[in-house]
Amino acid sequence: MADRRPHRRRCWHNPMMSSVRYLTETEWPGTIYLLLTFRSLEDFIFRSEIEELKRRNPRLRVAVAVTAPGQVGWDGHTGHIDARFITAAVPDIALHRAHICGPTPMMDATKKILLDLGVPAGQVRTEAFGTDRRDPTRKAPRSAKVVGEVQFLGSGKTARAIPAYVATAKSSS
């Protein structure tokens, strides 16, 4: 059955793409290794933008894994991210900082692989894009103090910022 929420398959790459765009725009002098995984070639979003970024930034190295077998026209890595894929894509991986974004199980598995490959724990960063499932019956404590207000610039809407639900909030006072 097809996922009726295709955004769930595609949003994980946004934070990494944002970082690559920034590093390219600011002409960061280091080499950028961008490792991506997609279910199928059909799901390979940002493909043309990545090609353009590679033309603009000769220090951008991109490796792609496709998890669904039998992709016509695909001769790259098939399967999930594993140690072989990482070490083929990133020379001396243990000397690099790694940023991981994706579903929690994938991030946990990738972090374990990186640690096994000798990347120091302090050099592995994860970014949860979205939230873990939470109990919909859970209510904010009655004594929850509002620490500020969040304003969404596009819509003009505002929401209260409560510490139990906000990682970082700027005080409105």
Predicted TM-score (pTM) of the model is 0.69
* More confident of the two residues 154 and 109: 109
pLDDT tens digits, residue range 59-70? 999 999 999 988
Q: Is the dihedral of CA 89, 27, 37, 95 positive or negative?
A: positive
**What is the CATH code for 7-127?**
3.40.50.80
Q: Specify the pairing of strand 158-161 against strand 148-151.
A: antiparallel
Q: For residue 102, what pLDDT is reported?
A: 85
* More confident of the two residues 129 and 69: 69
pLDDT tens digits, residue range 143-153? 556 667 777 77
pLDDT tens digits, residue range 99-114? 998 888 889 999 999 9
Q: How far is CA 130 from the centre of its chain?
A: 10
pLDDT category at 13 given cuts 50, 70, 90 is: confident
Q: For residue 79, what pLDDT is reported?
A: 93
| Distance linking the first and last C-alpha atoms of the chain | 50
* More confident of the two residues 119 and 154: 119
Q: Specify the pairing of strand 32-38 against strand 60-66.
A: parallel
Mean pLDDT, the chain, integer: 81
Mean pLDDT of 149-168: 69
Q: Specify the pairing of strand 124-127 against strand 98-101.
A: parallel
* More confident of the two residues 8 and 170: 8
pLDDT category at 173 given cuts 50, 70, 90 is: very low
Q: Is the dihedral of CA 54, 90, 71, 9 positive or negative?
A: negative
Q: How many C-beta atoms lie closer than 10 Å to residue 152's C-beta?
A: 9
pLDDT category at 172 given cuts 50, 70, 90 is: very low
Sheet of 60-66, strands arranged across: 32-38, 60-66, 77-78
| Domain map (residue ranges) of the chain | 7-127, 136-173
